[in-house]
């Protein structure tokens, strides 16, 4: 059974600081997704990582994938308050289908002024 | 292109009742997946339908069922509601290929009293 572990689960940081969220998974995968969720809202797709070594960047967020280590990271650079949200990683196992994603528990990020 | 829509957005039911939730996918998408989100268990896969057939199912009791219509719209039904069924129910649509990205709807917030 595929397991996905995110850490930390809670992250409080000051504006302007950098931090990294980690996503470990237990079985082989070549597809990993990062989502953002604001309170009471749905999931917004941030990044799709499809191969080993993939790196994607959007604004102050950068995601990477190491399939050999079964690890993805979401790096936040110079955080701003607008980034406060819950971030999820989700994994589809190799040979599996996207429609059965296994999600991490989520990281609740609070950016303080 | 219109996004995924879900109705109703909010619902309050009593234990023992049943409920039906609806999801309309993005035009042209043939796959609809359902997820349950609770604070304790996080996001969990319920089932997925493609061309009116259930392709995959998560580990939920038989009280949870679904169907898909010829226009790709999907419904999920929960019978004999329990307090623990209170959750945000998200549906996601995709074109239907195993590597296609899913797009999530706004969710239906179900409260069971």
What tokens does B88 get? 């945000």
CA distance A13 to chain B (A): 22
Cis previous bond, A42, omega within 30? no
Instruction: Please report residues of A whose CB lies closer than 8 A to that of B102.
Output: 98-99, 101
Instruction: Please report residues of B whose CB lies closer than 8 A to that of A105.
Output: 42
CA distance B43 to chain A (A): 6
Q: Which of B61, B60, B65, B86 is nearest to B75 (CA)?
A: B65
Cα angle: B4, vertex A91, A66; to 5 degrees: 135
Q: Test B103 with A33 for CB contact under 8 angstroms.
A: no
Q: Pairing mode, if any, of strands A19-25 and A71-76?
A: antiparallel
What tokens does A23 get? 């996503």
CB atoms within 10 A of CB B20: 15
Q: Which of B13, B27, B9 is nearest to A41 (CA)?
A: B9
- From CA A54, how far away is CA B5, in angstroms rounded? 32
* Residues near A101 by beta carbon (within 8 Å), at least 6 away in sequence: A33, A90, A91, A92, B45, B102
Mean local confidence (pLDDT), B12-36: 97
Q: What is the three-class DSSP state of B83? A: helix
Q: Test B94 with A99 for CB contact under 8 angstroms.
A: yes
pLDDT at B101 over 90: no
CB B110 within 8 Å of CB B22: no
| pLDDT tens digits, one per residue of B28-78 | 999 999 999 999 899 999 999 999 999 989 999 999 999 999 999 999 999
Looking at chain B, the whole-number percentage of residues with pLDDT higher than 70 is 99
Residue of A nearest to B99 (CA): A98
CA distance B98 to chain A (A): 4
Mean local confidence (pLDDT), B22-30: 96
- From CA A100, how far away is CA A110, in angstroms rounded? 29
User: pLDDT per position in chain A (113 positions), as tens?
Assistant: 889 999 999 999 999 999 999 999 998 887 899 999 998 888 999 999 988 888 999 999 999 999 999 999 999 999 999 999 999 999 987 776 667 889 999 999 999 98
pLDDT at B1 over 70: no
CB atoms within 10 A of CB B30: 17
**Is residue B95 within 8 angstroms of chain A, CB to CB?**
no
Residue of B nearest to A107 (CA): B42
DSSP assigned state of B28: T
Instruction: Please report residues of B whose CB lies closer than 8 A to that of A101.
Output: 45, 102
Cα angle: A46, vertex B106, A10; to 5 degrees: 55
């Amino acid at each position: 059974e595929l397991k996905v572990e995110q850490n930390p689960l809670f992250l409080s940081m000051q504006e302007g600081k950098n931090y990294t969220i980690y996503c470990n998974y237990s079985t082989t995968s070549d597809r990993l997704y990062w989502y953002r969720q604001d309170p009471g809202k749905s999931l917004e797709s941030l990044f799709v990582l499809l191969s080993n070594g993939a790196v994607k960047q959007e604004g102050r967020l950068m995601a990477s994938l190491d399939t050999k280590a079964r690890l993805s990271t979401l790096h936040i650079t110079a955080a701003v308050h607008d980034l406060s949200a819950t971030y999820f990683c989700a994994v589809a196992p190799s040979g599996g289908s996207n429609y059965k994603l296994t999600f991490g528990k989520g990281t609740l990020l609070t950016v303080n002024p | 292109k219109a996004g995924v829509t879900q109705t109703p957005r909010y619902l309050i039911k009593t234990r023992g009742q049943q409920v039906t939730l609806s999801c309309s996918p993005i035009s042209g998408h043939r796959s609809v997946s359902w997820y349950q989100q609770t604070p304790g268990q996080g996001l969990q896969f319920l089932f997925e339908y493609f061309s009116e057939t259930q392709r995959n199912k998560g580990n939920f009791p038989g009280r949870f069922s679904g169907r898909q219509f010829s226009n790709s719209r999907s419904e999920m039904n929960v019978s004999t509601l329990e307090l623990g069924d209170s959750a945000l129910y998200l549906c996601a649509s995709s074109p239907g290929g195993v590597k296609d990205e899913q797009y999530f709807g706004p969710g239906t917030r179900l409260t069971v009293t």
